[in-house]
């Protein structure tokens, strides 16, 4: 069963290999909590194909600042270390899956 990867500044390089979705979120954020089960489902569906990751902006403010995250949830898509897309706000599972599939 796939599980998302919890990223910190120490292991963020993990997201820069291959295709990755990084969800910048916080525990107090209502839309982030709504998106959480979708992220879990995507982690299962894309296991072995793409990395599904989360960054808690309360704990990793430096990463949020580095990637210009001003509102959450923010989903940033990486391919081979490059930022190739970004979605801000709660998104449908289909919209996120379509973006990941377009990068594979």
Active site residue 32: yes
Q: Which of the residues 15, 22, 29, 64 is marked catalytic?
A: 29
Active site residue 29: yes
Write out the DSSP string of 16-53: GSSEEEEEEE-TT-HHHHHHHHHHHHHHHHTTTTSEEE
Q: Which of the residues 32, 52, 64, 97 is marked catalytic?
A: 32
- Strands 19-25 and 74-79 come out as antiparallel
Active site residues: 29, 32
């Amino acid at each position: 069963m796939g599980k998302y990867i919890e990223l910190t500044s120490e292991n963020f390089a993990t997201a820069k290999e291959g295709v990755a979705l990084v969800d910048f979120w916080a525990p107090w954020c209502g839309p982030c909590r709504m998106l959480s089960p979708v992220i879990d489902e995507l982690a299962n569906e894309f296991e072995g194909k793409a990395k599904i990751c989360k960054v808690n902006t309360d704990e990793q403010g430096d990463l949020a600042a580095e990637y210009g995250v001003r509102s959450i949830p923010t989903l940033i898509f990486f391919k081979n270390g490059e930022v190739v897309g970004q979605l801000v706000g709660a998104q449908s599972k289909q919209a996120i899956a379509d973006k990941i599939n377009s990068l594979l």
